[in-house]
Structure 1
Amino acid sequence: MAAYSSDLRERVFEAYQSGLSSPQVAERFGVSAPFVRKLALLHRRYGSIERRPVTQGRKPVLDDKQRDRLIELAGREPDLTLAEMKSRLRLRCCETTVWRELKKAGFSFKRSPSKLASSSGKTSRQSANVGPAA
Protein backbone atom coordinates (compact mmCIF):
# COMPACT_ATOMS: atom_id res chain seq x y z
CA MET A 1 0.00 0.00 0.00
CA ALA A 2 1.36 3.41 -0.96
CA ALA A 3 1.89 6.14 1.61
CA TYR A 4 -0.69 8.89 1.89
CA SER A 5 0.22 12.06 -0.03
CA SER A 6 1.49 15.15 1.78
CA ASP A 7 -1.61 17.03 0.64
CA LEU A 8 -3.97 14.47 2.20
CA ARG A 9 -1.93 14.38 5.40
CA GLU A 10 -2.21 18.17 5.69
CA ARG A 11 -5.98 18.20 5.07
CA VAL A 12 -6.54 15.39 7.61
CA PHE A 13 -4.41 17.12 10.24
CA GLU A 14 -6.10 20.50 9.69
CA ALA A 15 -9.53 18.89 10.11
CA TYR A 16 -8.37 17.20 13.31
CA GLN A 17 -6.96 20.48 14.65
CA SER A 18 -10.25 22.23 13.90
CA GLY A 19 -11.85 20.16 16.66
CA LEU A 20 -13.27 17.12 14.90
CA SER A 21 -12.68 13.75 16.57
CA SER A 22 -10.33 11.25 14.94
CA PRO A 23 -13.23 8.92 13.89
CA GLN A 24 -15.04 11.88 12.28
CA VAL A 25 -11.94 12.98 10.39
CA ALA A 26 -11.21 9.40 9.37
CA GLU A 27 -14.69 8.94 7.95
CA ARG A 28 -14.59 12.25 6.08
CA PHE A 29 -11.26 11.51 4.35
CA GLY A 30 -11.47 7.72 4.03
CA VAL A 31 -8.53 6.98 6.31
CA SER A 32 -8.33 5.11 9.61
CA ALA A 33 -8.79 6.75 13.00
CA PRO A 34 -5.38 5.46 14.17
CA PHE A 35 -3.81 7.24 11.17
CA VAL A 36 -5.37 10.52 12.31
CA ARG A 37 -4.02 9.98 15.84
CA LYS A 38 -0.62 9.08 14.38
CA LEU A 39 -0.48 12.42 12.56
CA ALA A 40 -1.24 14.25 15.81
CA LEU A 41 1.49 12.27 17.57
CA LEU A 42 4.01 13.00 14.79
CA HIS A 43 3.22 16.71 15.06
CA ARG A 44 3.66 16.68 18.84
CA ARG A 45 6.94 14.75 18.74
CA TYR A 46 8.65 16.17 15.67
CA GLY A 47 6.76 19.33 14.75
CA SER A 48 5.91 17.86 11.35
CA ILE A 49 3.34 15.46 9.93
CA GLU A 50 5.60 14.25 7.11
CA ARG A 51 6.55 10.58 6.91
CA ARG A 52 9.54 9.59 8.99
CA PRO A 53 12.44 8.04 7.06
CA VAL A 54 12.43 4.25 7.17
CA THR A 55 15.53 2.67 8.66
CA GLN A 56 16.10 -1.04 8.33
CA GLY A 57 18.30 -3.44 10.19
CA ARG A 58 21.09 -3.02 12.65
CA LYS A 59 23.87 -0.53 12.31
CA PRO A 60 27.11 -2.05 11.02
CA VAL A 61 29.45 -3.28 13.76
CA LEU A 62 32.53 -1.98 11.92
CA ASP A 63 32.59 1.56 10.59
CA ASP A 64 34.09 2.41 7.19
CA LYS A 65 37.51 3.26 8.63
CA GLN A 66 37.74 -0.05 10.53
CA ARG A 67 36.57 -2.01 7.48
CA ASP A 68 39.17 -0.30 5.27
CA ARG A 69 41.96 -1.04 7.77
CA LEU A 70 40.83 -4.69 7.96
CA ILE A 71 40.84 -5.10 4.17
CA GLU A 72 44.23 -3.41 3.91
CA LEU A 73 45.69 -5.71 6.60
CA ALA A 74 44.24 -8.82 4.96
CA GLY A 75 45.77 -7.80 1.63
CA ARG A 76 49.15 -7.01 3.17
CA GLU A 77 49.35 -10.11 5.42
CA PRO A 78 47.05 -12.79 3.98
CA ASP A 79 48.32 -15.57 6.28
CA LEU A 80 46.91 -13.99 9.45
CA THR A 81 44.04 -15.78 11.16
CA LEU A 82 40.80 -13.96 11.85
CA ALA A 83 41.69 -13.81 15.54
CA GLU A 84 45.07 -12.25 14.74
CA MET A 85 43.47 -9.64 12.47
CA LYS A 86 40.92 -8.82 15.13
CA SER A 87 43.63 -8.52 17.77
CA ARG A 88 46.01 -6.39 15.68
CA LEU A 89 43.30 -3.92 14.75
CA ARG A 90 41.81 -3.98 18.27
CA LEU A 91 38.34 -4.62 16.86
CA ARG A 92 35.51 -5.02 19.33
CA CYS A 93 33.54 -7.65 17.45
CA CYS A 94 33.46 -11.40 17.03
CA GLU A 95 35.60 -13.28 14.52
CA THR A 96 32.49 -14.06 12.49
CA THR A 97 32.08 -10.33 11.84
CA VAL A 98 35.68 -10.12 10.61
CA TRP A 99 35.02 -13.14 8.36
CA ARG A 100 31.84 -11.62 6.91
CA GLU A 101 33.50 -8.29 6.15
CA LEU A 102 36.41 -9.96 4.39
CA LYS A 103 34.07 -12.26 2.47
CA LYS A 104 32.08 -9.20 1.29
CA ALA A 105 35.38 -7.69 0.09
CA GLY A 106 36.10 -10.81 -2.00
CA PHE A 107 38.68 -12.57 0.17
CA SER A 108 38.77 -16.37 0.46
CA PHE A 109 40.04 -18.35 3.42
CA LYS A 110 42.03 -21.41 4.27
CA ARG A 111 40.04 -23.96 6.27
CA SER A 112 41.78 -23.69 9.64
CA PRO A 113 44.76 -21.88 11.15
CA SER A 114 46.59 -25.17 11.72
CA LYS A 115 46.02 -28.91 11.82
CA LEU A 116 46.60 -29.61 15.50
CA ALA A 117 44.15 -32.50 15.83
CA SER A 118 45.54 -36.00 16.20
CA SER A 119 45.39 -38.10 13.07
CA SER A 120 44.97 -41.32 15.08
CA GLY A 121 41.48 -40.39 16.25
CA LYS A 122 39.99 -39.67 19.63
CA THR A 123 42.02 -40.37 22.73
CA SER A 124 41.01 -40.27 26.35
CA ARG A 125 42.61 -40.89 29.71
CA GLN A 126 41.53 -44.13 31.31
CA SER A 127 41.00 -44.49 35.01
CA ALA A 128 43.48 -46.57 37.02
CA ASN A 129 40.60 -48.60 38.49
CA VAL A 130 39.17 -50.51 35.56
CA GLY A 131 37.19 -53.18 37.43
CA PRO A 132 34.61 -53.07 40.22
CA ALA A 133 35.63 -51.65 43.59
CA ALA A 134 36.93 -54.26 46.05
Structure 2
Amino acid sequence: MPALSLDLRERIVKSYEEGTTSIRKLAERFQVSKTTVHKLIILKRETGQLAPKRPNGGKPSPLVGKEAEGMAMVVEHPDYTLSEYCQEWLERTGMDIAVTVDLGID
Protein backbone atom coordinates (compact mmCIF):
# COMPACT_ATOMS: atom_id res chain seq x y z
CA MET A 1 0.00 0.00 0.00
CA PRO A 2 1.46 3.39 -0.98
CA ALA A 3 2.22 6.01 1.65
CA LEU A 4 -0.35 8.71 2.32
CA SER A 5 0.38 11.98 0.54
CA LEU A 6 1.96 14.75 2.58
CA ASP A 7 -1.12 16.90 1.95
CA LEU A 8 -3.43 14.27 3.43
CA ARG A 9 -1.14 13.76 6.41
CA GLU A 10 -1.13 17.49 7.09
CA ARG A 11 -4.93 17.76 6.81
CA ILE A 12 -5.41 14.87 9.25
CA VAL A 13 -3.06 16.33 11.87
CA LYS A 14 -4.39 19.87 11.40
CA SER A 15 -7.95 18.60 11.97
CA TYR A 16 -6.80 16.82 15.13
CA GLU A 17 -4.95 19.88 16.41
CA GLU A 18 -8.09 22.00 16.00
CA GLY A 19 -9.47 19.82 18.80
CA THR A 20 -13.01 19.56 17.50
CA THR A 21 -13.18 15.82 16.80
CA SER A 22 -11.95 12.43 17.95
CA ILE A 23 -9.33 10.17 16.41
CA ARG A 24 -12.09 7.70 15.50
CA LYS A 25 -14.08 10.36 13.64
CA LEU A 26 -10.96 11.60 11.86
CA ALA A 27 -10.19 8.06 10.74
CA GLU A 28 -13.69 7.71 9.33
CA ARG A 29 -13.61 11.14 7.68
CA PHE A 30 -10.27 10.57 5.95
CA GLN A 31 -10.84 6.83 5.36
CA VAL A 32 -7.75 5.67 7.22
CA SER A 33 -7.32 3.53 10.33
CA LYS A 34 -7.34 4.94 13.86
CA THR A 35 -3.80 3.63 14.19
CA THR A 36 -2.72 5.70 11.18
CA VAL A 37 -4.19 8.86 12.69
CA HIS A 38 -2.52 8.13 16.02
CA LYS A 39 0.87 7.43 14.42
CA LEU A 40 0.71 10.67 12.43
CA ILE A 41 -0.05 12.67 15.57
CA ILE A 42 2.90 11.07 17.37
CA LEU A 43 5.20 11.55 14.35
CA LYS A 44 4.35 15.27 14.20
CA ARG A 45 4.78 15.66 17.96
CA GLU A 46 8.14 13.85 18.12
CA THR A 47 9.79 15.01 14.89
CA GLY A 48 7.85 18.05 13.75
CA GLN A 49 7.64 16.35 10.36
CA LEU A 50 4.96 14.41 8.50
CA ALA A 51 6.84 13.35 5.37
CA PRO A 52 6.61 9.62 4.62
CA LYS A 53 9.72 7.52 5.08
CA ARG A 54 11.64 6.61 1.97
CA PRO A 55 10.56 3.32 0.43
CA ASN A 56 12.94 0.38 0.61
CA GLY A 57 14.60 1.82 3.65
CA GLY A 58 14.97 -1.59 5.25
CA LYS A 59 18.16 -3.48 5.83
CA PRO A 60 20.27 -4.30 2.76
CA SER A 61 20.29 -7.71 1.15
CA PRO A 62 22.75 -10.17 2.70
CA LEU A 63 24.00 -10.77 -0.85
CA VAL A 64 25.41 -7.24 -1.21
CA GLY A 65 29.16 -7.46 -1.68
CA LYS A 66 29.07 -11.09 -2.78
CA GLU A 67 28.58 -10.40 -6.49
CA ALA A 68 32.04 -11.73 -7.42
CA GLU A 69 31.30 -15.06 -5.74
CA GLY A 70 28.04 -15.31 -7.64
CA MET A 71 29.67 -14.49 -10.97
CA ALA A 72 32.44 -17.04 -10.35
CA MET A 73 29.81 -19.68 -9.70
CA VAL A 74 28.04 -18.86 -12.98
CA VAL A 75 31.33 -18.98 -14.93
CA GLU A 76 32.18 -22.37 -13.39
CA HIS A 77 28.71 -23.83 -13.99
CA PRO A 78 27.03 -22.02 -16.91
CA ASP A 79 24.57 -24.86 -17.44
CA TYR A 80 23.08 -24.92 -13.91
CA THR A 81 19.40 -24.30 -13.30
CA LEU A 82 18.27 -21.68 -10.78
CA SER A 83 17.65 -24.43 -8.24
CA GLU A 84 21.15 -25.81 -8.77
CA TYR A 85 22.66 -22.34 -8.30
CA CYS A 86 20.76 -21.98 -5.03
CA GLN A 87 22.09 -25.33 -3.84
CA GLU A 88 25.64 -24.46 -4.91
CA TRP A 89 25.38 -21.09 -3.13
CA LEU A 90 24.25 -22.85 0.05
CA GLU A 91 27.22 -25.21 -0.11
CA ARG A 92 29.72 -22.39 -0.76
CA THR A 93 28.45 -19.78 1.67
CA GLY A 94 26.05 -21.44 4.08
CA MET A 95 23.37 -18.98 2.93
CA ASP A 96 20.06 -20.51 1.93
CA ILE A 97 18.55 -18.45 -0.88
CA ALA A 98 15.31 -19.03 -2.74
CA VAL A 99 14.49 -19.11 -6.43
CA THR A 100 12.22 -16.24 -7.43
CA VAL A 101 10.78 -15.60 -10.85
CA ASP A 102 9.22 -12.39 -12.15
CA LEU A 103 6.83 -13.33 -14.91
CA GLY A 104 6.05 -9.69 -15.65
CA ILE A 105 2.32 -10.29 -15.32
CA ASP A 106 0.39 -7.33 -13.95
TM-score by length of 1: 0.44
1:15 aligns with 2:47: no
Please, what is the CA RMSD of the aligned residues? 2.7
Post-superposition CA distance 1:36-92 (Å, at most 9, x none)? 101011112221111012312347798xxxx6xxxxxxxxxxxxxxxxxxxxxxxxx
Instruction: State the partner residue of 1:28.
Output: 29
Distance in 2, Cα, partners of 1:8 & 1:101: 42
Distance in 2, Cα, partners of 1:30 & 1:61: 40
Instruction: State the partner residue of 2:59.
Output: 57
Residue 107 of structure 1 aligns to a residue whose secondary structure is helix
1:23 partner letter? R
Post-superposition CA distance 1:14-36 (Å, at most 9, x none)? 00111122112112222111111
Tell me, which stretches of 5 or more residues in structure 2 are unaligned? 77-106
Residue 34 of structure 1 aligns to a residue whose secondary structure is helix
Q: Higher helix share goes to which structure?
A: 2
1:107 partner letter? A
Distance in 1, Cα, partners of 2:5 & 2:68: 43
Q: Percent identity, please.
A: 34
Which one has the largest radius of gyration? Answer: 1
Q: What is the aligned length? A: 73
TM-score by length of 2: 0.53
